[in-house]
């Protein structure tokens, strides 16, 4: 299993002055093959150039996770999001990433757009831009019923039958969306282009995101099923690390090796 650490695990530190470049040696320290970067930039293009050089020095890989989405509440909002996504494609390419995690939506959206010609043409144009840069756009299932519906995600991805449009399969988010993770995998198998390894801990108002092995999701079993199905891509350790990201990462890796 080719593991990468995610910047989101270091959220508390990155919001307090830590630079994402510091994640590169940490990935090597934890025995991972790379880093999932996020829009925590202080000086975007300067940092990107430095990170790419450092990744080459450490012989590590990377992915990029942006905030943009394929869906929105109006055609104008969809186009605005797609335009912003093109910038993220450029950032991913400059980093040397081959996968860009994207979202279903950032808020309210109209699911019916999926079946409309203008939306399909807009996504096809995005895929052309991604293909030019050799970047896979991987749509993540969100931790809510609307954007975390496996059937919707299938309908967004499968009709294009494109190597440049895949699914980011988040092992934890399905539960928070009211979906069965195993059933979601059965529906989306063959369309997975990236994996987020995350657990969920029950709480009175729903679920709390946590590291693999500390919640109720069979993260290890799901990862094994995905691998057995032929997936050979990256698995991101993607969860809140709080004030102790190192201990959460190490605990996750021990759990996954059991």
Q: Please report the pLDDT score of residue 92 as a whole number.
A: 99
Rg of the chain, C-alpha, whole Å:
17
pLDDT at 65 over 90: yes
Beta-carbon contacts of residue 95 (< 8 Å; ≥ 6 apart): 37, 48, 51, 52, 55, 62, 64
Phi first, then psi, for residue 138 (nearest 5°) are: -120, 110
What letter does residue 241 receive in the DSSP assignment?
Answer: -
pTM for the full predicted model: 0.97
Specify the CATH number for the domain of residue 57: 3.20.20.150
Q: Which secondary-structure segment (H or E) carries 83?
A: helix 75-95
Residue numbers of the domain that contains 239: 2-257
pLDDT tens by residue, 14-42: 999 999 999 999 999 999 999 999 999 99
Q: Please report the pLDDT score of residue 258 as a whole number.
A: 87
* Burial grade of 130 (CB within 10 A; 0-12, 13-18, 19 or more): buried
Count of domains for the chain:
1
Q: Please check whether residue 46 is in contact with residue 23, taking contact to mean a CB–CB distance below 8 angstroms.
A: no
């Amino acid at each position: 299993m080719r593991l990468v650490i995610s910047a989101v695990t270091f959220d508390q530190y990155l919001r307090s002055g830590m630079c994402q470049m510091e994640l590169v040696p940490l990935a090597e320290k934890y025995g991972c093959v790379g880093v999932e970067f996020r829009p925590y930039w202080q000086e975007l293009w300067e940092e990107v150039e430095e990170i790419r050089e450092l990744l080459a020095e450490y012989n590590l890989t990377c992915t990029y996770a942006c905030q943009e989405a394929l869906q929105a509440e109006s055609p104008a909002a969809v186009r605005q999001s797609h335009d912003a996504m093109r910038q993220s494609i450029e950032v991913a390419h400059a980093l040397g990433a081959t996968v860009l995690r994207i979202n279903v939506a950032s808020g309210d959206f109209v699911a019916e757009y999926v079946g409309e010609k203008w939306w399909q043409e807009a996504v096809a144009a995005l895929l052309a831009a991604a293909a030019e840069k050799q970047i896979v756009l991987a749509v993540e299932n969100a931790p809510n019923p609307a954007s975390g519906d496996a059937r919707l995600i299938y309908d967004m991805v499968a009709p294009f039958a494109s190597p440049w449009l895949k699914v980011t399969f988040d092992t934890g988010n399905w539960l928070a969306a009211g979906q069965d993770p195993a059933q979601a995998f059965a529906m989306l198998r063959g369309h997975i282009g990236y994996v987020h390894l995350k657990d969920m801990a029950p709480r009175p108002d729903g679920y709390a995101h946590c590291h693999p092995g500390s919640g109720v999701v069979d993260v290890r079993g799901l990862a094994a099923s995905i691998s057995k199905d032929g997936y050979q891509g990256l698995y991101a350790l993607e969860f809140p690390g709080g004030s102790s990201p190192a201990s959460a990462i190490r605990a996750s890796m021990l759990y996954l090796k059991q």
